[in-house]
Structure 1
Amino acid sequence: MWRIISLLCVFVGPVLAGQGLKDPTQPGNYSAPAAARGGSQLKSIITSPNGNYAVVGDKLLSIGDSIGSARIVAIGNDSIRLSDGKTLKLFQTITER
């Protein structure tokens, strides 16, 4: 019995932790862009009468908030501009070639 439990822990443990799982819709040689791996991917822009907000990684940010060492200086309809001169765009991984 303990052997079965040990085998389950060895084979099911990593799956439950999400390690080694690959997106089945991606090509075999696909590697996520550095921005997506680092958590600084622009996922959404929210516009409201009180101002625009950006969802970067898992955080809701506004103008003046920090992403790493840079600050958000502008939030547009499909991108945000950072103080270090970089621009994060929505769907960048799809549209870049």
Structure 2
Amino acid sequence: MLLNRISLNALAVMVSSVMMFASPAEAQSLRDPTLPSQGYVAVSSNAVPQQTMVLNSIVNGQRAYAVINNNILSVGDTISGVGLRVTSIGQDSVTLSDGRKLQLFQSITER
């Protein structure tokens, strides 16, 4: 009977030691699925992202005005916060000093 207890205790010690060594291996196989894959490389860019500009409307009369980002501008005005100038205002588009052309969307009801 004493021999059975010793062998059971030895077996318990062996099982617990095996489980202790098996746990890290199991933990490595259970990765957080929200983490990037192992081949992930972080990319940093020094380039300044272009600010989104919305051409809200154009008013043509004796003098043309464009509403960009809810600010009323005419040719030669600078867009606040961006530092770009309005170089020309057409019937349905505005050209900026960096070469970008902002276009109005055609009305859905227009045919």
TM-score, normalised to structure 1's length?
Answer: 0.51
Q: Give the counterpart of 1:48 among 50, 57, 61.
A: 61
- Give the alignment of 1:26-41 within 5 angstroms: 38=52, 40-41=53-54
Partner of 1:71: 85
The structure whose RCO (Cα within 8 Å, separation 6+) is larger is 1
Q: Aligned partners of 2:78 and 2:97: how far apart in 1?
A: 9
Q: Aligned partners of 1:58 and 1:83: how far apart in 2?
A: 19
Q: Give the counterpart of 2:105 among 74, 91, 95.
A: 91
TM-score, normalised to structure 2's length?
Answer: 0.45
Where structure 1 has 5 or more consecutive residues not aligned to the other structure, the ranges are: 1-34
Q: Aligned partners of 1:53 and 1:64: how far apart in 2?
A: 11
Q: Aligned partners of 1:83 and 1:62: how far apart in 2?
A: 13
Where structure 2 has 5 or more consecutive residues not aligned to the other structure, the ranges are: 1-49
1:58 matches 2:70: yes
What is the count of residue pairs matched by the alignment? 56
Q: Aligned partners of 2:69 and 2:97: how far apart in 1?
A: 18
Give the letter aligned to residue 103 of structure 2.
Answer: K
Q: Which of the two has higher C-alpha Rg?
A: 2
